[in-house]
Amino acid sequence: MAGNGRLVVDLRSLLAAAADGDPDAWQRIVDQHSGLLWSIARGFRLNTADAGDAVQLTWLRLVENLDTIQEPDRLAAWLATTVRRECLQLIRRGARTQPVADLDRLGRAEPGPAADDGLLRREQAVTLWRTFARLGESCQRLLRVLMATPPPAYLEVAAALDMPIGSIGPTRQRCLARLRELVAEDAVLDPAEGHRS
């Protein structure tokens, strides 16, 4: 939220300003929604290049339609629907997919701050991320979208995954329960290192 003095961002005026060519308004729209779009594309298991393409296509389509967005409140859902379609088309075209939580990337991640607290938290995060990678595909997809920053509304999640809004809560609950089981299993099997297959 750096540089953003307003707590409530009025999307209607941001969209209007962007349509008038105001780069600051546009940047705020992009910054506010990129996390959601990226999470959706990665939930579809697109690799970094293809996920980037899907997100970029979505922004190009919004620019194309800036004058015609009728309901600013539904902008995020519109973006979510658009990026889902772009992802599906890339997949149809033969996009190479990769696991949502790519374990190889962890080795390259820079260590966090050196404080002991930080190290411990980071270890826990690595373990959790590895365990998440063992969930079924549909659970990974839903949870990956829900991990977006800022947290998406269920309306947007429903648009992102083309699923009924009423099934998101129960599915989230079931997937998190499964994740807890896997966490518990890992702790029993190999408390020191976590499970490796």
Partner 1 sequence: MTDDELMARLSAAAAEFDPTPDQVLAAGRAALLTRRLDEELVALVADSELAGAGQVRATGADVRLLAFETADVSLELQVEFAGARAVIRGLVTGASGEAVIEVAGERHVAPIEEGWFTATDLPAGATRVRVTTARGPVVTSWVHLQAPSAP
3-class secondary structure, 187: helix
- Decide: is 101 part of the binding site for partner 1 (CB under 8 A): yes
- Decide: is 42 part of the binding site for partner 1 (CB under 8 A): yes
Q: Which helix (H) or strand (E) holds 90?
A: helix 75-92
Q: How far apart are CA 154 and CA 166, in angstroms?
A: 9
Residues in contact with partner 1, counted by CB under 8 A, come to a total of 61
> What is the closest distance, in whole angstroms, from the C-beta atom of residue 57 to partner 1 in the complex?
6
> Among 71, 180, 185, 193, which residue interacts with partner 1 (rule: CB under 8 A)?
180
- Decide: is 165 part of the binding site for partner 1 (CB under 8 A): no
> What is the closest distance, in whole angstroms, from the C-beta atom of residue 191 to partner 1 in the complex?
18
3-class secondary structure, 46: strand
CB 55 within 8 A of CB 38: yes
Rounded to 5 degrees, φ, ψ at 103 are: -65, -30
The b-or-e profile of 1-18 (16+ CB within 10 A means b, else e) is eeeeeeeeeebeebbbbb
> What is the closest distance, in whole angstroms, from the C-beta atom of residue 23 to partner 1 in the complex?
6
> Among 9, 16, 66, 69, which residue interacts with partner 1 (rule: CB under 8 A)?
66
Return the C-alpha torsion angle 18, 153, 145, 124, nearest 10: 120
Residues that bind partner 1 (CB under 8 A): 18-19, 21, 23, 26-27, 30-31, 34-35, 37-39, 42, 48, 51-53, 55-57, 59-64, 66, 86, 89-90, 92-96, 101-102, 105-106, 109, 112, 122, 124-126, 128-129, 132, 143-144, 146-149, 151, 172-173, 176, 179-180
